[in-house]
Each structure stands twice: as structure tokens, then as C-alpha cells.
Chain A
Amino acid sequence: MRRLRGLSDWALLTFALPVLGIGYMLGLKTDYGRNAQFRQMAGSIAGIGGTSTAMSGNSLTDSGATWGTTNYVGGYVVVGTVYANILSHTGTVLTLDRWYNLATPGGSAGSTPGSTSVYAIMPGGSPAWFEGLSADTTPPANGDTTLPSEITTAGGGLVRKISVVAHTAGASTWTHTTVFTANGSDSLPVTVGKAGLSQSILSTMPNLFQTLVSPTATLSASGDQLTTTRTITE
């Protein structure tokens, strides 16, 4: 595992308990995360707009488009007040993770836009503010994409969730803090060993960051909660 510095640092503070000797765990920016950072900061490729000819909950079609097959993978498309991440595409069809409401991206999926809608494929990428958990304790690797053995229990409280992003004026760092609450749908007990941050609420899109949760944390009953805090260092 390569531990990166400077622009690439990602520290997981396992809850700032210096009096107890629990320190921080340096996390890992994946290869996908480095590519995403480049795309976020440099744009990579100019955006493009048009009018769709078909639409679904996870696809957008423009029969007159000539997008190629790689230009916009990892980017995102905006239609009205919803957006979606682009998982892959052909020359005329974008395959998307889902539609997100711009105002409540962590809530229910946004409504599917109408078939003939004005769209914009944006330069850069969407925010990486969704966190997932896993019982896996294997140290993350640069080539990781998805989170191994990610908890994806339908209706459970430990599935990917939007984090709270906090910033101190004048700081070059910021934090992602997430509270997961186990519920009756979760398979308990579970010991959480790894976490990741992604642009998608679905586990089908790669993680930009992964880190071990150290020490591991065990949730035993419905209502038990785990709070994680990550510090992103520019």
C-alpha cells in the first residue's frame, strides 16, 4: 500500500481521543481517486450539452450525440434540478448510477427527467460525499475500486450514506463526518473494519478514498451507532 503525502493525504481520525491514545489512521487515495481529483481540479475535458431523446432511472440517450466511449466516464450530467454520475457510455447512451436531487442528494432518488430534456454533461465531477462501510480489514490498495465486502443490506442503516462536510475558515483541510445507525434490517453483530468515500450512493461506482477503521468498531443491536470522521488534506 502506498501512503501518499501532500495533495494525496487522507487521514481517518478514529475519533480524536488523544487522552486515550487513539490516534489517526492514514487513509489511501485510490488510483481512481487520483484520476477523479485531476478531473475535479482540471476539468479534463470540456462539458457538452444537448437535448435527450430517451431517459430512464439510470440512463440518458441522445440519438444524435457523438460522445465516444470514454470521454465522460466518471463525470456527471445535470438535467434541471437533478444530476447523475456517469458509469459508462456509448456514443449516444449514458449509463448512470441514479438521479440525485440537487438539494437533497443523500435522500431518495430524484425523479427521472422527461424523455426530451435539456442536459449538460459537466466538466469535472460530482462531490465525493457518500461513505460506505465494510467488515473487511484488508489494508486498502491503490488499485481498489469498489469497497470489498461493502455492507449493502437493503433497508439497513449501515449502507452508503451522505456525510456532513465541515470546514474551518482559513483551513486547507476539511472533514467528512458520518453517523450510521444500525436497524432491524441489518445483520448484527457486525464489526466494521474499513470505510470508503465515493461520489455515488450506490456501490457500483468506485471509491476515491479508502481507509481501515482502527480500532475496529462492533455494532451489536438495532439503534447502535458508529460515527466516523475523516480529514481530507489538500
Chain B
Amino acid sequence: MKVAYGAATPVQVREGTVLSLPGPATVVFDIPTGDDDGSYTYVVAEPGAAHRMPDEHDGTPVETAAQLAEIARHNIEVANGYDFRLSHLPDHEALIVAVAVWNSGQHAVGQPSWVWSDNPDFAVLLGEYFHCPVGMPDDVEATHYTSHAGVSYPPGSTPPVEVTE
């Protein structure tokens, strides 16, 4: 499952030193899902199931992406003494890893300017989590530093496409 973030203020971190990068830029990754039996890969769960809102949110069952994002935010960011490494949302590894990529601070500072995924429902969930627009801008290649197959391109430049007739 492919995911991308829009980073208005991209960075890279070398030995703990945060270095600014030209931006805006995309942050891209591929979450390994889709294996037949799901073993040792990342689970994408639908809102609902056994999850309930935290007590301070009246304990009602989770039914929407917004509610799931809220319970995840509480679980990841508040529980366990703000140790972001620890969580307890066993059906939502994909959400946890996607959030961790951004929250690590290794790719950008601030909040994502937008989120995108080839799984539309997952993109909505991330959008709810980060309170940001869902979907990649139509002019992303013209306005962002982008990455294709690990190769970076400045705004206005895209991978060469060979046309055969």
C-alpha cells in the first residue's frame, strides 16, 4: 500500500542534527500489505470491530475514520507516558507505522500539508489523524520535489518516459 505525505518543510537528520531540505517535497513509502495470510505484514483494519473510544470520549464503539483517528492519537501519543514507541492497537499496524514515519521527525517538521494513499480509505484515516487535506495536488510534479523509485526530481522535472511506436 503506497503512501505519500506533502512536506512543506522537509528535513534530513544526520547524527541527530536536523538539516533543512528544499521544499515542498514528498515523503513516500510502501507499507507491505496484501500477503495471503497476513503473517508478519502490516494489518489495515476497518473502523469498528472491537475498538471503543477512550473513556474520556464516552466509550462508544468506533464507527468512523474520525473516531478511529482520535482513539489512535490517544493511544499513540498520550498513553504510555508519551513514549511514542509504545502502543496497543493490534489491528492497526499500518496506521501506526504511517504515523510513525511522520512523527519520527526524520523527514519533515510540522504537520503534513496533505496525505495520499492508493488505499482511499486509509488516506481518509490519515487525513483525520493529521487534520490535513486528503489527496495529492494535481500539480505536485510542478510544485514539489518528488521521488520516483528512489530517485529525486526537482519541481517541474519528472522521470523520462520513453515512447515507442
Give the CA-CA distance A15 to B162 in the complex, in Å: 42
Name B18's closest neighbour in chain A (CB-CB). A18
Known contacts A14-B85, A106-B40; A168 and B21 CB within 8 A of each other: yes
A-chain residues with CB within 8 Å of residue B25 when the two chains form the complex: 168-170
Q: Is the CB of B10 within 8 A of A169?
A: yes
**CB-based contact B101/A164 at 8 Å:** yes
Taking A166-B107, A231-B13 as contacts, is the C-beta distance between A104 and B101 under 8 angstroms?
no
Contacts of B96 in A (CB 8 A): 179, 225, 227
A233 to B37, CA, bound (A): 34
- B82: A residues at CB distance < 8 A: 17, 20
Do A169 and B84 touch across chains, with their CB atoms under 8 A apart?
no
Is the beta-carbon distance between B41 and A104 smaller than 8 angstroms?
yes
Q: Which residue of A lies closest to B76 (CB)?
A: A227
A167 to B10, CA, bound (A): 11
B83 within 8 Å of A (CB atoms): yes
In chain A, positions 173-228 with a C-beta closer than 8 Å to chain B are 173, 175, 177-179, 181, 183, 201, 217, 219, 221-228
Instruction: Decide yes or no whether B138 CB sits under 8 A from chain A.
Output: no
Give B139 Cβ to nearest chain A Cβ, in Å: 15
Q: A11-B15, A16-B106, A231-B13 are in contact. Are A167 and B88 (CB under 8 A)?
A: no
Interface string of B90-121 (1 = CB under 8 A from A): 10010011101101111110000000000000
Task: Decide if A167 touches B27 in the complex (CB within 8 Å).
Answer: yes
Per-residue contact bits, chain A 52-69, to B (CB 8 Å; 1 contact, 0 not): 000000000000000000
Q: How far is the CB of A61 from chain B (nearest CB, A)?
A: 28
Interface size on B, residues (CB 8 A): 56
Interface residues on A, range: 35 or more
Q: Within 8 Å of chain A (Cβ to Cβ): is B164?
A: no
Given the known interface contacts A168-B7, A173-B13, the answer about A217 and B41 at a Cβ–Cβ threshold of 8 Å is: no
Task: Given A107-B39, A175-B106, A223-B90, check contact A168 B32 (CB 8 Å).
Answer: no
> Main SS of the interface on chain A?
strand
A11 to B7, CA, bound (A): 22
A24 within 8 A of B: yes
Interface residue stretch chosen among B52-60, B122-130, B146-154: B146-154
Choice from A164, A171, A228 contacting B12 with Cβ under 8 Å: A171
> A45: CB under 8 A from chain B?
no
A107 touches B36 (CB 8 A): yes
Would A224 and B88 be within 8 Å (CB), given that A164-B97, A168-B12, A233-B14 are in contact? yes
- Contact status A15-B85, CB under 8 Å: yes
Q: How far is the CB of B86 from chain A (nearest CB, A)?
A: 6
B-chain residues with CB within 8 Å of residue A178 when the two chains form the complex: 97
Residues of A within 8 A of B36 (CB): 107-108
What residues on B are CB-neighbors of A172 within 8 Å?
Answer: 12
A-B contact pairs, 8 of them (CB 8 A): A105-B32, A166-B28, A168-B108, A170-B152, A175-B106, A224-B88, A227-B85, A227-B100
Residues of B whose CB lies within 8 Å of any CB of A are: 7, 10-16, 21-22, 25-32, 34-42, 82-90, 93, 96-98, 100-101, 103-108, 144-147, 150, 152-154
